């Protein structure tokens, strides 16, 4: 499937990307466009390089060949100043939040503010309070350490840190992994709400079929070292065996049967997660 088959200017443009670890080939001549203000899920079987792709986009890993452009800039050609300027424009949430264990939640959120801004301490504190509220955390969470938080609250604290610099792109690596179904659904609702309210582009690595149906505009399936991209409805027309097994298996059918469109909460549902 051609990644450019639908209209929309790409905010991330990947061309002929190849990734190798020794003799092992992970990606080979991979092309992918990610549009502004879309939510795109990235899925694939074990060893297809989902998290590797995310790390290459944000510069945490180097690819063997090809080109990755973010906001029209070749990420491999940037100097340190250019790279730092680009990093200000995205936020990243790893699994379980990846928080600094020796810092409080507030101090964790403050890290990118100290590194990338010249805000006064008082203004940083105001921003921290706003970001914690956006992530659905109560004010008293600010002074807690990661070890004092539930898994759901750690993810929300990591999300608050990812939002600290008002990013245009939000990268999520398995955001609902480890959450119970209620917590996962509430986290999906939160991401969908933030994407619409803030105009974010969201790139989400996930295995969660419920998340794909709930908030993703398109899905990129890594298969056979390449990628196939489209809406779930379009992907269901693909003859690829893995895609058919993934979306038409018991879990896929269950997710499709209970799917709600973005913003279509049941009466009484809220974004708060009391995990």
Phi, psi of 213 (to 5 degrees): -70, -35
Tell me the pLDDT tens digit for each residue of 49-91: 999 999 999 999 999 999 999 999 999 999 999 999 999 999 9
With cut-offs at 50, 70 and 90, classify the pLDDT of residue 114. Answer: very high
pLDDT value of position 47: 87
Q: How far apart are the first and last CA of the chain?
A: 40
User: Is 27 in contact with 18 (CB distance < 8 Å)?
Assistant: yes
Distance separating alpha carbons of residues 263 and 43, to the nearest angstrom: 23
The reply to whether 106 falls in a domain is yes
The reply to whether 79 falls in a domain is no
Phi, psi of 92 (to 5 degrees): -135, 125
The reply to whether 197 falls in a domain is no
With cut-offs at 50, 70 and 90, classify the pLDDT of residue 255. Answer: confident
User: Is 238 in contact with 205 (CB distance < 8 Å)?
Assistant: no
Specify the number of domains making up the chain.
1
The reply to whether 229 falls in a domain is no
pLDDT value of position 6: 44
> Edge-to-edge strand order for the sheet containing 73-74?
24-35, 10-21, 65-70, 73-74
- DSSP letters, 243-268, are HHHHHHSHHHHHHHHH---TT-PPTT
With cut-offs at 50, 70 and 90, classify the pLDDT of residue 13. Answer: very high
Record the tokens describing residue 136, joined without a space.
């659905």
Domain residues for the domain of 129 are 100-166
The reply to whether 116 falls in a domain is yes
Evaluate if residue 3 carries a pLDDT over 50.
no
> Percentage of the chain surpassing pLDDT 90?
81
With cut-offs at 50, 70 and 90, classify the pLDDT of residue 9. Answer: confident
Distance separating alpha carbons of residues 269 and 250, to the nearest angstrom: 26
Distance separating alpha carbons of residues 83 and 77, to the nearest angstrom: 9
pLDDT value of position 260: 57
Task: Count the residues in the chain.
Answer: 275
Q: Based on C-alpha coordinates, what's the Rg of the chain?
A: 19
User: Is 41 in contact with 204 (CB distance < 8 Å)?
Assistant: yes
pLDDT value of position 245: 93
The reply to whether 157 falls in a domain is yes
Element (H, E) at 33: strand 24-35
Average pLDDT over residues 144-170: 96
With cut-offs at 50, 70 and 90, classify the pLDDT of residue 95. Answer: confident
Evaluate if residue 270 carries a pLDDT over 80.
no
Evaluate if residue 271 carries a pLDDT over 70.
no
pLDDT value of position 5: 40
The reply to whether 76 falls in a domain is no
pLDDT value of position 203: 98
Classify strands 169-173 and 201-205 as parallel, antiparallel or unpaired.
parallel
Distance separating alpha carbons of residues 105 and 87, to the nearest angstrom: 21
Average pLDDT over residues 247-268: 63
Record the tokens describing residue 141, joined without a space.
């969470």
Element (H, E) at 223: strand 218-223
The reply to whether 231 falls in a domain is no
């Amino acid at each position: 499937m051609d990644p450019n088959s639908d209209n929309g200017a790409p905010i991330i443009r990947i061309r002929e990307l190849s990734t190798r670890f020794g003799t092992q080939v992970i990606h080979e001549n991979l092309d992918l466009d990610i549009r502004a203000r879309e939510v795109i899920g990235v899925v694939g079987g074990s060893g297809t390089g989902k998290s590797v792709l995310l790390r290459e986009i944000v510069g945490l890993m180097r690819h063997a060949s090809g080109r990755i452009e973010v906001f029209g800039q070749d990420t491999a050609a940037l100097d340190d100043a250019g790279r730092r300027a680009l990093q200000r424009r995205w936020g990243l949430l790893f699994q379980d939040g990846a928080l600094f264990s020796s810092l409080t939640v507030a101090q964790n959120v403050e890290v990118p503010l100290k590194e990338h801004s010249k805000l006064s301490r008082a203004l940083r504190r105001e921003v921290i309070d706003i970001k914690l509220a956006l992530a659905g955390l109560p004010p008293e969470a600010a002074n807690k350490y990661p070890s004092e938080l539930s898994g759901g609250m750690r993810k929300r604290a990591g999300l608050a840190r990812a939002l600290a610099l008002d990013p245009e792109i939000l990268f999520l690596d398995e955001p609902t992994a480890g959450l119970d179904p209620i917590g996962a659904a509430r986290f999906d609702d939160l991401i969908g709400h933030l994407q619409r309210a803030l105009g974010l582009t969201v790139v989400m690595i996930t295995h969660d079929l419920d998340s794909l149906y709930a908030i993703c505009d398109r899905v990129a399936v890594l298969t056979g070292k390449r990628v196939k991209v489209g809406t779930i409805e379009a992907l269901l027309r693909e003859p690829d065996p893995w895609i058919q097994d993934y979306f038409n298996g018991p879990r896929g059918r269950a997710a499709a049967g209970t799917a709600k469109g973005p913003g279509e909460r049941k009466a009484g549902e809220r974004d708060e997660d009391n995990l």
